[in-house]
Amino acid sequence: MLSLLYGLVRIALCMLVPCCAAGALFYAEYQTQFAARYVGQYLVWQNPVREPGGALWQGILASRQTRMSLYDSLAETSIEPSQTPLPVLQNHYQLQYHGTNAAFFAVTRRDTALQPDHLSPENLRELAYSLQIYEQGRSLLTQALVPDHGSYLRALVGAQIALEDGSLFYQLHKNLLAKDEPEAWTFLKMKEEDMAYWRQHLAPLLSADPERAQSDAGPIITAALAEVVQARADALRQGETKHLLTAWDSADGFELRLTRTGDEDQFAAYALMPGHEATAILLPAESVQQHLGLEEQ
């Protein structure tokens, strides 16, 4: 028993020396901070000659360049809070870059709308940022091209419905009358048997592939029908553009994603709105580069 106790005492005495030494070093560092100052000075000496590299470093540089460009542009921006568009007071507009080939806009509703007469310097700076992004995004959306294919198919469906309820005949009458074509009077005040006859001959021309359709409608009426459908498609595209602009002004959670395509003249974009399917649009590459400077990022 005594030998065990003697052994424990020897172990404690052996550990006491390094513990005291470590305590003394910690106390000296706490008082003088010698090690911390030495490490800091060493990093100051070495950082200028370090070779920057790696994806993380490149991401830091890109983020820094974007912030500096934004600060430079904001420094030149004069803003009058009382004349700020209402959407900017109600929503926060953001823009993120993803390399040189993509950008991402986002709209989020503010918890409390900004009051132009009660803005802190921080609010004023953020308001200038949102205003710049708002104007850039709205300018791009006014130039958006909605691909014709989807609009044309919807126009065909609408024309088929109009053929069934008879309203398509009046549209054909107006189209042919504007060209002073005698056939215009065929579609005015039609009898039921005449409607049935023309439904039979016009229905094949409203298929997904009208060029292969067999019909005795005649070239003048066929061309007029194609113009009526195309006018419907154009109206749908214009309505889609107006809808996008409305969403840009008011939709909480609206997103606009831009990606450079293989076509050097265009950027592909998708507009996403809560509760709606994504809308595919095209944007002129020259305009995107002018507004966002992606080629310089």
What is the C-alpha separation between 137 and 201, in angstroms, rounded?
46
pLDDT at res. 297: 41
Q: Which residue has the tokens 């023309």?
A: 198
CA pair distance 92, 112, nearest whole angstrom: 11
Contact 272, 254 (CB under 8 A): yes
Residue ranges of the chain with per-residue pLDDT less than 50: 66-67, 70-77, 296-297
* Pairwise CA distance, residues 200 & 216, whole Å: 10
Q: What is the DSSP letter of 1?
A: -
Task: Extract the tokens encoding 34.
Answer: 């010698």
The Cα–Cα gap between 104 and 258 comes to 6
pLDDT at 108 (0 to 100): 92
**pLDDT the model gives residue 75:** 42
The pLDDT tens digits for 156-181 are 889 899 989 899 989 999 999 999 99
Q: In what order do the strands lie in the sheet with 255-260?
A: 91-98, 102-109, 255-260, 266-272, 279-284
Q: What is the tens place of the pLDDT at every residue in 248-275? A: 998 889 999 988 877 677 888 888 888 8
Cα angle, residue 94 at apex, residues 93 and 100 outer, rounded to 5°? 140
Give residue limits of the domains in the chain.
2-49, 55-142+251-296, 148-240
Element (H, E) at 5: helix 2-32
Query: 227 near 175, Cβ under 8 Å?
Result: yes
pLDDT recorded at residue 1: 58
- pLDDT (0 to 100) of residue 213: 63
pLDDT confidence of residue 251:
85
